[in-house]
Chains A and B, each alone.
Chain A
Amino acid sequence: MSEFKEYKKEIMDAARDEQLRLALSRAIKSFRGNINDALRKFPHTIGLADEVRGIKEKAIGDMERLAQQASEAIEANMGKAYIARTNEEALSIIAKLVGKGKLIVKGKSLTGEEIGLREHLEGHGNEVYETDLGEFIIQQLGSRPMHILSPSIHVPREDVARLFTKVMGREFPPDTEIATLVAAARDFLRDKFFRADIGLSGANTVAAETGTLFLIENEGNIRLATGAPPVHIALVGMEKLVETFSDACKVSEVTWRYANYTVPSYVSLVSGPSKTGDIEKTTTYGAHGPRELHVIFLDGGRTELAKNPVLRQALYCLRCGGCLYECPVFAVTAGHFGDKYFTGIGAVWAAMMDKDMEKAAALAYTCLTCGRCQERCPVKIDVPRMVVELRRMIAEGK
Chain B
Amino acid sequence: MSRELIPPGLVYLAGNIASKQNIIGASKEQGARWAKDLNLPKRAETIFFAGCGYQFSGQLETLMSLLRQMDQSVIGAELPLRFANFQKRLGVDLAGIYRKLLARDTEGEAGPLRAAVTVLQKLGIKFGYLAEEEPCCGAPLYQAGLHREFAANARQAYRKMKALGVKRLIGIVPYCTHALKKLFPLYVDGFDIEVRHFLELVIENLPTRKLRFPREAKVTYHDPCQLVRYLGLVEEPRRVLGSIENIELVEPDWTKREWATCCGGGGGFETVFPLLSQILAVNRAKELMETGAEIIVTHCPGCVLQLENGLKELKAKNIEVMDLAQVIAMSLEE
Question: A395 and B144: CB pair below 8 A?
Answer: yes
Q: Is the CB of B145 within 8 A of A392?
A: yes
By a CB distance below 8 angstroms, the chain A residues around B78 are 1, 4-5
Bound together, the chains give a CA A60 to CA B2 distance in angstroms of 29
Contact of A357 among B1, B144, B267 (CB under 8 A): B1
Distance in angstroms from A224 CB to nearest chain B CB is: 37
Q: Does B51 contact A (CB under 8 A)?
A: no
Query: Is the CB of B301 closer than 8 A to any CB of chain A?
Result: no
> In residues 261-318 of chain B, which contact A (Cβ within 8 Å)?
261-262, 264, 266-267, 269, 272-273, 275-276, 279-280, 283-284
Chain A interface: which size bin? 35 or more
A369/B267 in contact, CB under 8 A: yes
Q: How far is the CB of A383 from chain B (nearest CB, A)?
A: 11
User: Quick one: which of B1, B230, B283 has the most chain A CB within 10 A?
Assistant: B1
Known contacts A370-B262, A375-B259, A391-B144: does B7 contact A365 (CB below 8 Å)?
A: yes
Judge if B191 is at the interface, Cβ distance under 8 Å: no
**B5 within 8 Å of A by Cβ?**
yes
Total contacts A-B at CB 8 Å: 108
- Whether A254 is near chain B, meaning CB under 8 Å from some CB there, is no
Contacts of A390 in B (CB 8 A): 145
A11 within 8 A of B: yes
Cα(A326)–Cα(B254), bound, Å: 11
Cβ contact within 8 Å between A332 and B273? no
> Which of the residues A12, A329, A370 comes within 8 Å of B229, measured between beta carbons?
A370
Q: How far is the CB of A12 from chain B (nearest CB, A)?
A: 6
What is the CA–CA distance of A366 and B279 in the complex, to the nearest angstrom? 14
Contact A361 B5 (CB under 8 A): yes
Taking the closest CB of chain A, its distance from the CB of B174, in whole angstroms, is: 12
Contact between chains at A368 and B3 (CB < 8 Å): no
A335-393 contacts to B (CB < 8 Å)? 357-358, 361, 364-366, 368-372, 374-375, 388, 390-393
Q: Is the CB of B283 within 8 A of A365?
A: no
Q: How far is the CA of A356 from the CA of B4 in the complex (A)?
A: 14
**B261 surroundings in chain A (CB, below 8 A):** 328, 372
Question: CB of A120 within 8 A of chain B?
Answer: no
Chain A residues whose C-beta falls within 8 Å of the C-beta of B1 in the assembled complex: 357, 393-394, 396-398
Q: Say yes or no: B254 contacts A329, CB within 8 Å.
A: no
> B142 touching A388 by the CB < 8 A rule?
yes
A58 to B76, CA, bound (A): 46
Residues A395 and B283 in contact, CB atoms below 8 Å apart: no
Q: Of B78, B258, B266, which is in contact with the most chain A CB atoms at under 10 Å from its CB?
A: B266
Q: Is B193 an interface residue (CB 8 A)?
A: no
- The reply to whether B264 and A395 contact each other, CB–CB distance below 8 Å, is no
Distance in Å: Cβ of A376 to nearest Cβ of chain B = 9
Determine which of B7, B230, B254 lies in contact with A371 in the assembled complex, contact meaning CB atoms within 8 Å. Answer: B230
* Chain B residues whose CB sits within 8 angstroms of the CB of A395 once the complex forms: 3, 6, 144-147
Residue of A nearest to B2 (CB): A397
Which of B2, B3, B147, B272 is A365 in contact with, Cβ under 8 Å?
B272
Known A-B contacts: A11-B276, A365-B269, A395-B6. Give 12 more (CB < 8 A): A4-B7, A4-B78, A5-B78, A11-B273, A15-B275, A332-B280, A357-B5, A366-B269, A371-B225, A375-B258, A394-B5, A395-B145
